[in-house]
Amino acid sequence: MGNQDGKGFCRERWRWKRKPMGFVHHQASPTHTGIRTVGVDDVCKFSVDSDLCISIVTWNMNGQVSFEDLVEVVGNNREFDLFVVGLQEAPGKQVAKLLKTVLARTHVLIGKATMQSLQLYMFGPKDAESFIKELKVDKQSIGGCGWVIGRKKGAVAIRINYKGIRMVFISCHLSAHARNVEERNCQCRHISHSLFSKYWNPYARPSHVTVWLGDLNYRLQGIDTHPARNLIQKDLHEKLLSKDQLLREAGRGQIFNGYCEGTLTFKPTYKYNIGSSNYDTSYKVRVPSWTDRILFKIEDADKIEATLNCYESMDEIYGSDHKPVKAHLCLRLRPDH
């Protein structure tokens, strides 16, 4: 594929003797399955049928934040063990303070990984420290800051062993524009090979679960903006799924082989006029796209069971040109593990 971004960071010359993290793959496996779409079980039996429930949010904030928006993002229902939020284009350090305030009644900050505007926070119950066996963080830049200084592209990550469940959370912001699909593929591979490589241990047990979230920036391809908007207006946006670059590239075995994603029943999350739920009316009239995603992979289904209880966008939040996306994932260790 050659040098994809003109900066020389990704030439596909992987000569890794160590085993990569296994998130994505350079070449299509003969048995590649792409991204498996899973249904949503609307009922979460918190602390009854699950060992661990996780509320996960990704949001490109477009450099803006309000306390009221964060209250809405977290929500009133605190029936989760961990709250994990990945932010892109976050405005400085005040977001962490505001999140701590919002969650103070029930949860405390137990981990964070930040790289300028790329921020990942993990909150747990007030006794969370007694359940943590390992917590490491890492980050990986992919070069370039977009058109605004300080708006970083790349990924930040947290690796944690919590209640005996080994997990990796990766929050990323990949290159923009529909034409850069191969560049995004390359960036995914670069990130997955690089994260936590300095901690690599050939005898370490792999994670049970990997969660990848963020503004992946994959777009709709092969459809113009007005036909796409007409389908969305008629609540027929499922007809756009065949145009989604992320699903296409995964289907070709280029990225996210073996990952799962909830059904995309919500409208594309980008690009909106700020302050409204109207799609872009600038001179660019961008094609709406599901740029903001949450994917997860269970490394060994014989050891752990996962149930997705929510996968939705938060259309009532108007502070950015992206809508936040939320997932609720419940995990259970199978007997004898």
Integer angstrom CA distances of residue 204 from 14, 18, 197: 22, 12, 12
DSSP state of 143: S
- 206 pLDDT band, cuts 50/70/90, is confident
Structure token pair of residue 189: 């591979």
Mean residue pLDDT across the chain: 88
Separation of CA 120 from chain center: 10
pTM of structure: 0.90
| pLDDT tens for each residue of 40-64 | 987 787 767 789 999 999 999 999 9
Question: Phi then psi for 26, rounded to 5 degrees?
Answer: -70, -50
- Specify the pLDDT at position 41: 86
Section 178-197 average pLDDT: 95
Residue 269 backbone dihedrals phi, psi, to 5 degrees: -95, 0
Q: Write out the CATH class of domain 36-333.
A: alpha beta
Residue 32 confidence class, pLDDT cut points 50, 70, 90: low
Instruction: Say what angle helices 94-103 and 67-74 make with each other, to 10 degrees.
Output: 50
Given the structure tokens 């904030």, which residue do they identify? 61
- Is 331 in contact with 51 (CB distance < 8 Å)? yes
φ/ψ of 178, rounded to 5, equals -60, -35
Beta strands 82-88 and 36-38 are unpaired
DSSP 19: P
**Domain spans, the chain:** 36-333
